């Protein structure tokens, strides 16, 4: 699995139709029309996301590994 930062994941989410609702501290909160889930992405400079969190967000947002 490719290691990516929070900033890169935010770009991917926006391409998939997720909308940035608000920023609370260093966390970007995304929502999508017709979905109940909210996705919180930690954006801590250029630090990579931990693998478990990345997989969880990918599952929620229906992002395939090839799209990273």
Alpha-carbon 39 to chain mean position: 6
Task: State the CATH number of the domain containing residue 15.
Answer: 3.30.920.30
pLDDT of residue 37: 94
For tokens 């931990």, name the residue: 50
DSSP per residue, 12-43 = HHHHTT-EEEEEETTEEEEE-TT----EEEE-
Within a domain: 17: yes
Domain ranges, residue 58: 6-67
Query: Number of structural domains, the chain?
Result: 1
pLDDT of residue 7: 96
pLDDT of residue 28: 98
Question: pLDDT tens digits for 4-43?
Answer: 999 999 999 999 999 999 999 999 999 999 999 999 999 9
pLDDT of residue 64: 95
Within a domain: 1: no
């Amino acid at each position: 699995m490719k290691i990516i930062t929070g900033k890169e994941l935010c770009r991917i989410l926006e391409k998939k139709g997720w909308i940035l609702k608000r920023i609370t501290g260093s966390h970007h909160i995304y929502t999508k029309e017709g979905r109940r889930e909210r996705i919180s992405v930690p954006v801590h400079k250029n630090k990579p996301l931990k693998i478990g969190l990345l997989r969880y967000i990918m599952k929620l947002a229906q992002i395939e590994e090839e799209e990273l």
